[in-house]
Protein backbone atom coordinates (compact mmCIF):
# COMPACT_ATOMS: atom_id res chain seq x y z
CA UNK A 1 0.00 0.00 0.00
CA UNK A 2 2.93 2.33 0.73
CA UNK A 3 4.03 2.25 -2.87
CA UNK A 4 0.50 2.92 -4.02
CA UNK A 5 0.34 5.91 -1.68
CA UNK A 6 3.71 6.99 -3.01
CA UNK A 7 2.58 6.72 -6.62
CA UNK A 8 -0.60 8.67 -5.89
CA UNK A 9 1.43 11.27 -3.96
CA UNK A 10 3.74 11.82 -6.90
CA UNK A 11 0.78 12.13 -9.25
CA UNK A 12 -0.79 14.64 -6.91
CA UNK A 13 2.42 16.62 -6.65
CA UNK A 14 2.77 16.69 -10.41
CA UNK A 15 -0.83 17.79 -10.76
CA UNK A 16 -0.04 20.90 -8.69
CA UNK A 17 3.57 21.22 -9.59
CA UNK A 18 3.87 24.97 -8.97
CA UNK A 19 2.14 24.84 -5.63
CA UNK A 20 4.19 21.81 -4.63
CA UNK A 21 7.41 23.49 -5.72
CA UNK A 22 6.46 26.51 -3.64
CA UNK A 23 5.97 24.29 -0.60
CA UNK A 24 9.28 22.53 -1.12
CA UNK A 25 10.93 25.92 -1.54
CA UNK A 26 9.29 27.32 1.58
CA UNK A 27 10.31 24.36 3.73
CA UNK A 28 13.74 24.26 2.14
CA UNK A 29 14.52 27.93 2.62
CA UNK A 30 13.11 27.90 6.13
CA UNK A 31 15.23 24.92 7.08
CA UNK A 32 18.24 26.31 5.26
CA UNK A 33 18.14 29.63 7.10
CA UNK A 34 17.36 28.01 10.42
CA UNK A 35 20.10 25.40 10.10
CA UNK A 36 22.67 27.98 9.09
CA UNK A 37 21.94 29.96 12.22
CA UNK A 38 21.74 26.87 14.41
CA UNK A 39 25.03 25.51 13.10
CA UNK A 40 26.92 28.66 13.93
CA UNK A 41 25.16 28.90 17.26
CA UNK A 42 25.79 25.24 18.07
CA UNK A 43 29.48 25.54 17.34
CA UNK A 44 29.76 28.80 19.25
CA UNK A 45 28.04 27.53 22.32
CA UNK A 46 29.36 24.01 22.30
CA UNK A 47 31.01 22.76 25.44
CA UNK A 48 34.73 22.74 24.60
CA UNK A 49 35.65 20.23 27.29
CA UNK A 50 32.41 18.40 28.11
CA UNK A 51 33.76 15.69 30.39
CA UNK A 52 35.22 18.10 32.92
CA UNK A 53 33.70 21.49 32.18
CA UNK A 54 31.87 21.41 35.50
CA UNK A 55 35.02 20.93 37.52
CA UNK A 56 37.14 23.67 35.92
CA UNK A 57 36.61 27.13 37.35
CA UNK A 58 37.77 30.58 36.32
CA UNK A 59 38.66 32.64 39.39
CA UNK A 60 37.85 36.32 39.88
CA UNK A 61 38.96 38.54 42.73
CA UNK A 62 37.60 41.98 43.41
CA UNK A 63 40.90 43.80 43.79
CA UNK A 64 39.37 46.90 42.22
CA UNK A 65 39.31 50.19 44.01
CA UNK A 66 36.48 52.59 44.81
CA UNK A 67 35.00 54.99 43.74
CA UNK A 68 34.10 53.61 40.31
CA UNK A 69 33.09 49.99 39.96
CA UNK A 70 35.15 47.88 37.57
CA UNK A 71 32.32 47.90 35.05
CA UNK A 72 30.30 51.09 35.36
CA UNK A 73 27.32 49.70 33.42
CA UNK A 74 27.20 46.45 35.40
CA UNK A 75 28.53 47.29 38.86
CA UNK A 76 28.00 43.76 40.16
CA UNK A 77 30.77 42.47 37.93
CA UNK A 78 34.31 41.73 39.11
CA UNK A 79 37.45 42.10 37.00
CA UNK A 80 37.69 39.05 34.73
CA UNK A 81 41.43 38.82 35.21
CA UNK A 82 43.78 38.75 38.17
CA UNK A 83 46.72 40.91 39.09
CA UNK A 84 50.02 39.14 38.64
CA UNK A 85 50.76 39.14 42.36
CA UNK A 86 47.38 37.64 43.21
CA UNK A 87 47.79 35.00 40.52
CA UNK A 88 51.13 34.00 41.98
CA UNK A 89 49.73 33.90 45.48
CA UNK A 90 46.73 31.80 44.41
CA UNK A 91 49.04 29.27 42.76
CA UNK A 92 50.24 28.41 46.28
CA UNK A 93 46.83 27.28 47.49
CA UNK A 94 46.74 23.56 48.14
CA UNK A 95 42.95 23.34 48.11
CA UNK A 96 42.33 22.86 44.36
CA UNK A 97 43.37 19.68 42.57
CA UNK A 98 45.19 21.92 40.12
CA UNK A 99 45.72 25.67 39.66
CA UNK A 100 46.85 27.43 36.51
CA UNK A 101 47.85 31.02 35.83
CA UNK A 102 48.34 32.11 32.24
CA UNK A 103 48.64 35.10 29.97
CA UNK A 104 49.38 35.69 26.34
CA UNK A 105 52.25 37.25 24.51
CA UNK A 106 53.82 37.16 21.08
CA UNK A 107 57.23 37.51 19.54
CA UNK A 108 59.54 36.56 16.76
CA UNK A 109 60.77 33.03 16.25
CA UNK A 110 64.08 32.64 14.51
CA UNK A 111 64.64 28.98 13.58
CA UNK A 112 68.17 27.57 13.52
CA UNK A 113 67.23 26.15 10.13
CA UNK A 114 68.36 28.80 7.57
CA UNK A 115 65.74 27.57 5.08
CA UNK A 116 62.95 28.75 7.35
CA UNK A 117 62.65 32.51 7.63
CA UNK A 118 61.86 34.26 10.92
CA UNK A 119 58.21 34.29 11.86
CA UNK A 120 55.84 35.67 14.47
CA UNK A 121 54.41 33.31 17.01
CA UNK A 122 51.61 33.69 19.50
CA UNK A 123 52.73 32.38 22.84
CA UNK A 124 51.38 31.71 26.27
CA UNK A 125 53.14 32.04 29.57
CA UNK A 126 51.69 29.56 32.01
CA UNK A 127 52.31 26.94 34.65
CA UNK A 128 52.78 23.25 33.99
CA UNK A 129 49.33 22.21 35.18
CA UNK A 130 47.89 23.98 32.14
CA UNK A 131 48.48 20.85 30.09
CA UNK A 132 47.02 18.33 32.51
CA UNK A 133 44.13 20.55 33.55
CA UNK A 134 42.95 21.20 29.99
CA UNK A 135 43.91 17.70 28.78
CA UNK A 136 46.31 18.92 26.15
CA UNK A 137 47.47 15.91 24.10
CA UNK A 138 51.21 15.49 23.55
CA UNK A 139 52.83 14.10 20.43
CA UNK A 140 56.40 14.10 21.74
CA UNK A 141 57.90 14.80 25.12
CA UNK A 142 55.89 16.12 28.06
CA UNK A 143 55.11 19.32 29.93
CA UNK A 144 57.92 20.83 31.96
CA UNK A 145 58.25 19.64 35.55
CA UNK A 146 57.35 21.39 38.75
CA UNK A 147 60.91 22.51 39.38
CA UNK A 148 60.86 24.43 36.09
CA UNK A 149 57.70 26.23 37.21
CA UNK A 150 59.82 27.57 40.07
CA UNK A 151 63.10 28.07 38.22
CA UNK A 152 61.70 29.62 35.05
CA UNK A 153 64.21 27.99 32.72
CA UNK A 154 64.22 28.79 29.03
CA UNK A 155 62.28 25.81 27.84
CA UNK A 156 59.23 25.68 25.57
CA UNK A 157 56.37 23.45 24.48
CA UNK A 158 55.49 23.80 20.80
CA UNK A 159 52.08 23.18 19.34
CA UNK A 160 51.49 20.87 16.39
CA UNK A 161 51.44 23.47 13.65
CA UNK A 162 54.55 25.41 14.67
CA UNK A 163 56.45 22.13 15.04
CA UNK A 164 55.37 21.28 11.49
CA UNK A 165 56.50 24.65 10.25
CA UNK A 166 59.86 24.80 12.01
CA UNK A 167 60.87 21.18 12.35
CA UNK A 168 58.84 19.59 9.56
CA UNK A 169 56.83 17.64 12.10
CA UNK A 170 59.81 15.74 13.49
CA UNK A 171 60.31 14.94 17.14
CA UNK A 172 61.94 18.22 18.16
CA UNK A 173 62.33 17.45 21.86
CA UNK A 174 65.83 18.57 22.87
CA UNK A 175 66.22 20.87 19.85
CA UNK A 176 66.42 24.62 20.29
CA UNK A 177 64.49 27.58 18.91
CA UNK A 178 65.36 31.25 19.14
CA UNK A 179 62.47 33.28 20.48
CA UNK A 180 62.85 37.07 20.50
CA UNK A 181 66.60 36.63 20.58
CA UNK A 182 66.74 34.07 23.38
CA UNK A 183 67.47 30.38 22.95
CA UNK A 184 64.82 27.93 24.17
CA UNK A 185 64.99 24.14 24.47
CA UNK A 186 61.94 22.23 23.30
CA UNK A 187 60.66 19.83 25.99
CA UNK A 188 57.39 18.81 24.41
CA UNK A 189 55.33 18.96 21.24
CA UNK A 190 51.55 19.06 21.47
CA UNK A 191 49.27 17.11 19.19
CA UNK A 192 46.51 19.08 17.44
CA UNK A 193 44.54 20.98 20.08
CA UNK A 194 42.06 23.67 19.12
CA UNK A 195 39.25 24.01 21.65
CA UNK A 196 36.20 25.81 20.21
CA UNK A 197 35.48 28.18 21.79
CA UNK A 198 38.93 28.91 23.17
CA UNK A 199 37.46 28.70 26.64
CA UNK A 200 40.65 29.13 28.67
CA UNK A 201 41.09 32.64 27.28
CA UNK A 202 37.87 33.97 25.78
CA UNK A 203 38.94 37.59 25.58
CA UNK A 204 40.27 39.10 22.35
CA UNK A 205 38.77 36.46 20.10
CA UNK A 206 37.07 33.47 21.65
CA UNK A 207 37.19 31.68 18.31
CA UNK A 208 40.77 32.27 17.39
CA UNK A 209 43.37 29.58 17.18
CA UNK A 210 45.27 28.36 20.21
CA UNK A 211 48.75 29.74 20.82
CA UNK A 212 51.78 28.15 19.21
CA UNK A 213 54.40 28.27 21.96
CA UNK A 214 53.94 27.69 25.69
CA UNK A 215 56.58 28.55 28.29
CA UNK A 216 56.96 28.84 32.07
CA UNK A 217 55.40 32.00 33.44
CA UNK A 218 58.15 32.74 35.92
CA UNK A 219 60.68 33.10 33.13
CA UNK A 220 59.12 36.35 31.99
CA UNK A 221 59.82 38.09 35.29
CA UNK A 222 63.34 38.61 34.09
CA UNK A 223 62.71 38.39 30.34
CA UNK A 224 60.08 41.18 30.47
CA UNK A 225 58.05 40.51 27.34
CA UNK A 226 54.89 42.61 27.12
CA UNK A 227 51.65 40.82 27.78
CA UNK A 228 48.92 40.84 25.12
CA UNK A 229 45.25 41.26 25.71
CA UNK A 230 43.12 43.14 28.18
CA UNK A 231 44.99 45.00 30.86
CA UNK A 232 43.01 47.11 33.30
CA UNK A 233 44.74 49.28 35.85
CA UNK A 234 43.81 51.62 38.67
CA UNK A 235 45.72 53.54 41.25
CA UNK A 236 48.13 56.42 41.19
CA UNK A 237 51.36 54.66 42.01
CA UNK A 238 53.71 55.57 39.19
CA UNK A 239 55.20 52.71 37.21
CA UNK A 240 58.69 52.53 35.91
CA UNK A 241 59.34 49.43 33.94
CA UNK A 242 58.12 45.87 33.91
CA UNK A 243 58.93 45.06 37.54
CA UNK A 244 56.56 47.79 38.68
CA UNK A 245 53.96 46.47 36.29
CA UNK A 246 54.18 42.99 37.80
CA UNK A 247 53.67 44.47 41.27
CA UNK A 248 50.90 46.83 40.19
CA UNK A 249 47.16 46.58 40.65
CA UNK A 250 46.73 46.00 36.90
CA UNK A 251 44.63 42.93 36.14
CA UNK A 252 45.71 40.82 33.18
CA UNK A 253 46.28 37.18 34.21
CA UNK A 254 43.77 34.38 33.56
CA UNK A 255 43.43 32.03 36.48
CA UNK A 256 41.85 28.56 36.55
CA UNK A 257 41.40 25.93 39.23
CA UNK A 258 40.16 22.36 39.14
CA UNK A 259 37.65 21.57 41.90
CA UNK A 260 36.15 18.13 41.81
CA UNK A 261 33.24 18.37 44.21
CA UNK A 262 31.06 20.82 46.08
CA UNK A 263 32.97 20.34 49.28
CA UNK A 264 36.27 21.22 47.62
CA UNK A 265 34.64 24.18 45.95
CA UNK A 266 33.33 25.59 49.19
CA UNK A 267 36.67 24.96 50.88
CA UNK A 268 38.33 26.93 48.08
CA UNK A 269 35.87 29.78 48.42
CA UNK A 270 36.71 29.90 52.11
CA UNK A 271 40.39 29.93 51.25
CA UNK A 272 39.83 32.84 48.83
CA UNK A 273 37.90 34.75 51.47
CA UNK A 274 40.81 34.21 53.84
CA UNK A 275 43.24 35.42 51.22
CA UNK A 276 41.26 38.59 50.64
CA UNK A 277 41.01 39.25 54.37
CA UNK A 278 44.75 38.86 54.67
CA UNK A 279 45.38 41.20 51.75
CA UNK A 280 42.98 43.75 53.23
CA UNK A 281 45.19 43.82 56.33
CA UNK A 282 48.05 44.71 53.99
CA UNK A 283 45.99 47.59 52.61
CA UNK A 284 44.92 46.00 49.35
CA UNK A 285 41.36 45.11 48.19
CA UNK A 286 40.05 48.52 49.26
CA UNK A 287 36.40 47.86 48.35
CA UNK A 288 34.42 47.22 51.50
CA UNK A 289 32.88 43.88 50.60
CA UNK A 290 35.53 42.78 48.17
CA UNK A 291 34.87 39.17 47.28
CA UNK A 292 35.82 36.36 44.97
CA UNK A 293 33.85 34.46 42.39
CA UNK A 294 34.39 31.19 40.58
CA UNK A 295 32.58 30.17 37.38
CA UNK A 296 32.77 26.80 35.70
CA UNK A 297 33.54 26.61 31.99
CA UNK A 298 30.00 26.97 30.71
CA UNK A 299 29.11 29.69 33.20
CA UNK A 300 32.28 31.47 32.14
CA UNK A 301 31.25 31.31 28.46
CA UNK A 302 27.92 32.89 29.38
CA UNK A 303 29.46 35.44 31.74
CA UNK A 304 31.71 36.68 28.96
CA UNK A 305 29.05 36.51 26.25
CA UNK A 306 31.06 34.24 24.01
CA UNK A 307 27.97 33.89 21.83
CA UNK A 308 27.34 37.51 20.97
CA UNK A 309 23.93 39.09 21.35
CA UNK A 310 23.91 39.60 17.59
CA UNK A 311 24.04 35.89 17.00
CA UNK A 312 21.35 35.20 19.53
CA UNK A 313 19.13 37.73 17.79
CA UNK A 314 19.87 36.06 14.48
CA UNK A 315 18.95 32.66 15.85
CA UNK A 316 15.69 34.11 17.14
CA UNK A 317 15.01 35.63 13.75
CA UNK A 318 15.85 32.36 12.06
CA UNK A 319 13.18 30.58 14.06
CA UNK A 320 10.63 33.27 13.23
CA UNK A 321 11.66 32.82 9.64
CA UNK A 322 11.04 29.09 9.88
CA UNK A 323 7.65 29.83 11.45
CA UNK A 324 6.72 32.03 8.49
CA UNK A 325 7.84 29.32 6.08
CA UNK A 326 5.77 26.74 7.91
CA UNK A 327 2.67 28.96 8.00
CA UNK A 328 3.20 29.46 4.31
CA UNK A 329 3.40 25.73 3.78
CA UNK A 330 0.30 25.06 5.86
CA UNK A 331 -1.65 27.64 3.86
CA UNK A 332 -0.47 26.17 0.57
CA UNK A 333 -1.20 22.64 1.71
CA UNK A 334 -4.68 23.63 2.81
CA UNK A 335 -5.31 25.16 -0.57
CA UNK A 336 -3.90 22.16 -2.36
CA UNK A 337 -5.84 19.69 -0.32
CA UNK A 338 -9.03 21.67 -0.69
CA UNK A 339 -8.53 21.26 -4.40
CA UNK A 340 -8.42 17.53 -3.77
CA UNK A 341 -11.73 17.49 -1.94
CA UNK A 342 -13.67 15.95 -4.83
CA UNK A 343 -11.12 13.20 -5.25
CA UNK A 344 -11.08 12.47 -1.56
CA UNK A 345 -14.87 12.35 -1.45
CA UNK A 346 -14.85 9.87 -4.32
CA UNK A 347 -12.24 7.66 -2.68
CA UNK A 348 -14.23 7.73 0.52
CA UNK A 349 -17.34 6.69 -1.39
CA UNK A 350 -15.41 3.85 -2.96
CA UNK A 351 -14.55 2.58 0.49
CA UNK A 352 -11.41 4.32 1.71
CA UNK A 353 -11.49 4.81 5.46
CA UNK A 354 -10.39 8.07 7.08
CA UNK A 355 -7.19 6.39 8.17
CA UNK A 356 -6.39 5.42 4.59
CA UNK A 357 -6.97 8.95 3.35
CA UNK A 358 -4.86 10.23 6.22
CA UNK A 359 -2.01 7.92 5.36
CA UNK A 360 -2.25 8.80 1.69
CA UNK A 361 -1.93 12.50 2.37
CA UNK A 362 0.72 12.01 4.99
CA UNK A 363 2.85 10.21 2.44
CA UNK A 364 2.38 13.17 0.14
CA UNK A 365 3.35 15.61 2.89
CA UNK A 366 6.31 13.37 3.68
CA UNK A 367 7.52 13.45 0.10
CA UNK A 368 7.30 17.24 0.10
CA UNK A 369 8.99 17.33 3.51
CA UNK A 370 11.89 15.15 2.41
CA UNK A 371 12.36 17.16 -0.76
CA UNK A 372 12.22 20.33 1.36
CA UNK A 373 14.72 19.00 3.86
CA UNK A 374 17.15 17.96 1.14
CA UNK A 375 16.85 21.40 -0.36
CA UNK A 376 17.23 22.86 3.13
CA UNK A 377 20.43 20.94 3.76
CA UNK A 378 21.84 22.15 0.48
CA UNK A 379 20.84 25.72 1.28
CA UNK A 380 22.28 25.45 4.78
CA UNK A 381 25.55 24.37 3.25
CA UNK A 382 25.41 27.34 0.89
CA UNK A 383 24.43 29.58 3.77
CA UNK A 384 27.43 28.45 5.76
CA UNK A 385 29.69 29.21 2.82
CA UNK A 386 28.07 32.63 2.77
CA UNK A 387 28.65 33.16 6.49
CA UNK A 388 32.24 32.08 6.00
CA UNK A 389 32.76 34.55 3.19
CA UNK A 390 31.31 37.60 4.91
CA UNK A 391 33.11 37.10 8.19
CA UNK A 392 36.46 37.95 6.66
CA UNK A 393 37.88 34.58 7.57
CA UNK A 394 36.99 34.93 11.19
CA UNK A 395 34.54 32.19 11.88
CA UNK A 396 35.94 29.49 9.66
CA UNK A 397 36.05 27.01 12.44
CA UNK A 398 32.42 27.59 13.31
CA UNK A 399 30.80 26.81 10.05
CA UNK A 400 31.24 23.10 9.70
CA UNK A 401 28.33 20.72 9.87
CA UNK A 402 28.91 17.49 11.67
CA UNK A 403 26.84 14.31 11.49
CA UNK A 404 24.80 15.41 14.49
CA UNK A 405 23.80 18.60 12.78
CA UNK A 406 22.88 16.87 9.54
CA UNK A 407 20.71 14.42 11.47
CA UNK A 408 19.21 17.32 13.35
CA UNK A 409 18.50 19.14 10.10
CA UNK A 410 16.76 16.12 8.62
CA UNK A 411 14.78 15.63 11.82
CA UNK A 412 13.76 19.26 12.11
CA UNK A 413 12.64 19.45 8.49
CA UNK A 414 10.64 16.25 8.60
CA UNK A 415 9.13 17.38 11.85
CA UNK A 416 8.36 20.77 10.33
CA UNK A 417 6.78 19.18 7.29
CA UNK A 418 4.69 16.88 9.43
CA UNK A 419 3.62 19.70 11.75
CA UNK A 420 2.75 21.76 8.70
CA UNK A 421 1.01 18.83 7.05
CA UNK A 422 -0.87 17.44 10.01
CA UNK A 423 -3.64 19.96 10.18
CA UNK A 424 -4.41 20.06 6.45
CA UNK A 425 -4.26 16.27 6.37
CA UNK A 426 -6.60 16.01 9.29
CA UNK A 427 -8.91 18.54 7.68
CA UNK A 428 -9.14 16.65 4.44
CA UNK A 429 -10.04 13.43 6.23
CA UNK A 430 -13.11 15.19 7.56
CA UNK A 431 -14.54 15.57 4.08
CA UNK A 432 -17.85 13.67 4.06
CA UNK A 433 -17.94 11.08 1.30
CA UNK A 434 -21.24 12.26 -0.13
CA UNK A 435 -20.26 15.77 -1.10
CA UNK A 436 -18.67 16.60 -4.42
CA UNK A 437 -20.02 13.44 -6.03
CA UNK A 438 -23.05 14.89 -7.67
CA UNK A 439 -21.58 17.70 -9.70
CA UNK A 440 -18.16 19.13 -10.14
Partner 1 sequence: MLSMQHISKVYRTELVETHALRDFSLDVSDGEFVAVSGPSGSGKTTFLNIAGLLETFSSGTYMLDGEDVSGLGDNERSRIRNRKIGFIFQSFNLIPDLDLFDNVDVPLRYRGLKAADRRERIEKALETVGLASRMKHVPAQLSGGQQQRVAIARALAGEPRFLLADEPTGNLDSLMARQVLDLLEDINEKGTTIIMVTHDPELARRAHRNVHVLDGQVTDLKPFDGGTPAVVNAGAGGGA
Partner 2 sequence: MEIRPILSAMLRNKTGAVLVVLQIALTMAVVVNASFIINQRLEKMNRDTGIDVDNILIFQSWGFGDDYNHEASITRDIEYIRSMPGVIAVTPTRSLPVSNSGSANDFRATAERFDENNVEYPSVNANTYVWNEQGIDAVGVKLAAGRSFYAEEVQFRESRSSEFAPVTIITKDLAIKMFGTEDALGKTVYDFFGNAAEVVGIIEHMQGAWIDWDELTNVIISPGVSAGPFIRFMVRTEAGRRDELIAAIEEQLPKLDRGRMIRRVEPFSDVVRHAYSRDHSMTILLLSTIILLVSITSLGIIGLASFAVRQRTKQIGTRRAVGATRMDIVRYFMMENWLVTTIGVVLGSILALAFNVWLVDTYALDKLDWHYIPLGMLALWVLGQVAVLMPAMRASTIAPAVATRTV
User: 120, 346, 382, 407: which one contacts partner 1 (CB under 8 A)?
Assistant: 346
CA–CA distance, 356 with 347 (Å, rounded to integer):
10
> Pick from 308, 230, 307, 254: which is nearest to 48 by CA?
307
Secondary structure letter of residue 289 according to DSSP: T
Nearer to partner 1, 12 or 99 (CB): 12
Nearer to partner 2, 210 or 387 (CB): 387
Stretches 9-17, 90-98, 162-170, 373-381: which one binds partner 1 (CB under 8 A)?
Answer: 9-17
Phi, psi of 304, rounded to the nearest 5 degrees:
-100, 15
Phi, psi of 286, rounded to the nearest 5 degrees:
-70, -20
What residue 170 binds from partner 2, partner 1, none (CB within 5 to 8 A, per partner kind)? none
Q: Is residue 18 involved in binding partner 1 (CB under 8 A)?
A: no
> Pick from 434, 417, 423, 439: which is nearest to 338 by CA?
423
What residue 407 binds from partner 2, partner 1, none (CB within 5 to 8 A, per partner kind)? none
What residue 218 binds from partner 1, partner 2, none (CB within 5 to 8 A, per partner kind)? none
CB of 49 to partner 2, least distance (A): 26
Residues that bind partner 2 (CB under 8 A): 16, 18-19, 22, 25-26, 29-30, 33, 67, 106-108, 110, 118, 120, 178, 180-181, 204, 224, 226, 231, 235-242, 244-245, 308-310, 312-314, 317-318, 320-321, 323-325, 327-328, 330-332, 334-336, 338-339, 386-387, 390-392, 394, 423, 427, 439-440
What residue 260 binds from partner 1, partner 2, none (CB within 5 to 8 A, per partner kind)? none
Q: DSSP for 274-285?
A: HHHHHHHHTT--
CB of 22 to partner 2, least distance (A): 5
CB of 263 to partner 2, least distance (A): 36
CB of 349 to partner 1, least distance (A): 6
CA–CA distance, 188 with 123 (Å, rounded to integer):
14
| SS3 of 119-181 | EEEEEEEECCHHHHHCCCCEEEECCCCHHHHHHCCCEEEECHHHHHHHHCCCCCCCCEEEECC
What residue 433 binds from partner 2, partner 1, none (CB within 5 to 8 A, per partner kind)? partner 1
Of 350-409, binders to partner 1 (CB under 8 A) are 350-356
Beta-strand relationship, 251-258 and 56-61: antiparallel
Contact predicate 33/321, CB 8 Å: yes
3 state DSSP class of 270: helix
Cβ-count burial of 217 within 10 angstroms (0-12 exposed, 13-18 middle, 19+ buried)? buried
What residue 283 binds from partner 2, partner 1, none (CB within 5 to 8 A, per partner kind)? none
Q: Is residue 124 involved in binding partner 1 (CB under 8 A)?
A: no
CB of 365 to partner 1, least distance (A): 19
Of 409-438, binders to partner 1 (CB under 8 A) are 432-434, 437-438
Nearer to partner 2, 174 or 339 (CB): 339
Cα–Cα distances in Å, from 63 out to 203, 243, 277? 19, 19, 12
Q: Is residue 4 involved in binding partner 1 (CB under 8 A)?
A: yes
CB of 346 to partner 1, least distance (A): 5
Contact predicate 325/26, CB 8 Å: yes
Binding stretches for partner 1 (CB under 8 A): 1, 4, 11, 14-15, 342-343, 346-356, 432-434, 437-440
Amino acid sequence: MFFYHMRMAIKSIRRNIVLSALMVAAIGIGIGVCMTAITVFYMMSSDPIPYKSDSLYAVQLNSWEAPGPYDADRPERLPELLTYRDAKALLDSEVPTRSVATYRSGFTLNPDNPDVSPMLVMSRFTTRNFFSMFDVPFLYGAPWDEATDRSGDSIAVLNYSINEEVFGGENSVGRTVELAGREFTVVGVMDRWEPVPKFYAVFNGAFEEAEEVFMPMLLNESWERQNYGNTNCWGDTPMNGFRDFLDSECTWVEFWVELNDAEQKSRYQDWLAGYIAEQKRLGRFPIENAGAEVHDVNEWMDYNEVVSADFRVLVGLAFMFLAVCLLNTVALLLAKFSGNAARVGLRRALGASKAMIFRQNLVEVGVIGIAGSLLGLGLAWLGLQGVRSINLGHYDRLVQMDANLVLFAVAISLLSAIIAGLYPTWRICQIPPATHLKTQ
